[in-house]
Chains A and B, each alone.
Chain A
Amino acid sequence: MHIPEGLLPPLHAAAWTAAAAPFVVHGVRSLTREVRANPEAKLLIGAAGAFCFVLSALKIPSATGTSSHPVGVGLGSVLFRPPVMAVLGTVTLLFQALLLAHGGLSTLGANAFSLAVVGPWVAYGAFRLVRALTARLPEGTSLSLAVFTAAFSASLGTYTVTSLQLALAHPDPEGGVLGAFAKYATVFSVTQVPIAVIEGLVTVVAVRLLTSVNRGDLVRLGVLRPAPAPVPETAPREAADREAGTADTAAAGGDDKEKNA
């Protein structure tokens, strides 16, 4: 849920726009650099942006009796790092502000700062941290845990910043900024907790699907550690996996052929 149009005083709106702008400009540059260096990445970048598009359109009921939507920035931040996601998130916000009357142009800077700057960086930090902490666990488990934590904290982090932005603009006459922050956070962040869990799980599903169909790109992006050389004994098991509907690595298939030839 973004800050609605006109809800921040002009000075605040301008200040947040100025704060978010450098991140978005830097993001556009790293996006063009990434696409130029690796044109094949366009497909995955498009998927990450579309993922953000889908998730931020879905308003989900929460245990607080209110509803809100996920932010969907976790996937892109983990795959392409936060600067790229700053662009994709801002595009999503712009679409919603212009066509859906959700969020707004005057509050675009503030919403971009929370959703497209803080959210992605929180996601990336959480991802790196959990990956390092769980390095000894099996690769798939470690990756899933890290992706879940990344998406969960991005979702909560975004709305914590939103609450802070509103508290700074409209402090509580008695409790001041802190008192107002507690009130806004009750509305935004508490509503968001179950939705952040949903978002975490959905993002894990997305990464699992990508691992199945596009392992090479994930390894190249540094998201997935390169698998150890396939051991011949595991070949029948991988064949069984393929029958179960999961795609297989090209490497293992190639190995089979060489052995059989």
Chain B
Amino acid sequence: MSDRSTPRAWVTWALLAAVAVLAVLPLATGAGEGMEEPFSGADGQAESLVGELNPDYEPWMAPLVELPSGEVESGLFALQAAIGAGVVGYALGVARTRSRPGDRAAPGPGAPSAGPEASDAPGGPRDR
């Protein structure tokens, strides 16, 4: 049971492949065909539905920033994803370094040059 709780790398890759397939499938099968604006945002669709159900309604507040174009908007969304991905990557990297006791016990990058015998002392990074 304990061996099952250590994740296998290939399963992780398989999960990521499934994600890619699921994301591309609607494009490949042509789910957006015949639509005025294929794959538009669901929020825009809801907005036009509000206009349909409640034609007298006027949005009483406009967004503070009016983005000049779709390109600028997608750029900002890319920025948001980049910031998030950077932080996630940093956190995983730090956690990985912390979880290796051998790295912590070693005084610095110069340590391995002291010779492998030195690390035979108890607590040394013997298993690496």
Residues of B within 8 A of A248 (CB): 6
Between A and B, how many residue pairs show CB distances below 8 Å? 259
Chain B interface residue count, CB cutoff 8 Å, equals 76
Determine if A19 is an interface residue (Cβ-Cβ < 8 Å).
no
In the complex, are the beta carbons of A104 and B63 less than 8 A apart? yes
State the main secondary structure of chain A at its contact with B: helix
Instruction: Give the Cβ gap from A256 to chain B, nearest Cβ, in Å.
Output: 5
Residues of A at under 8 Å CB distance from B?
Answer: 1-7, 9-10, 43-44, 46-47, 49-68, 95-102, 104-106, 138-141, 143, 166, 170-173, 180, 183-184, 187-188, 191-192, 194, 197-198, 201-202, 204-206, 208-217, 224, 227-228, 230-231, 234, 237-239, 241, 244-250, 253-254, 256-257, 260-261
Q: A140-B7, A184-B49, A201-B15 are in contact. Are A60 and B23 (CB under 8 A)?
A: yes
In the complex, are the beta carbons of B126 and A228 less than 8 A apart? no
Complex Cα gap A249–B51 (Å): 57
In the complex, are the beta carbons of B50 and A1 less than 8 A apart? no
In the complex, are the beta carbons of B2 and A246 less than 8 A apart? no
Q: A50-B84, A238-B3 are in contact. Are A194 and B22 (CB under 8 A)?
A: yes
Could you write out 23 A-B pairs with CB less than 8 Å apart? A1-B41, A3-B43, A4-B59, A44-B95, A49-B87, A51-B88, A58-B77, A61-B32, A63-B29, A66-B45, A100-B67, A102-B43, A140-B6, A141-B4, A170-B50, A170-B54, A187-B42, A194-B25, A198-B19, A205-B16, A212-B7, A241-B6, A256-B127
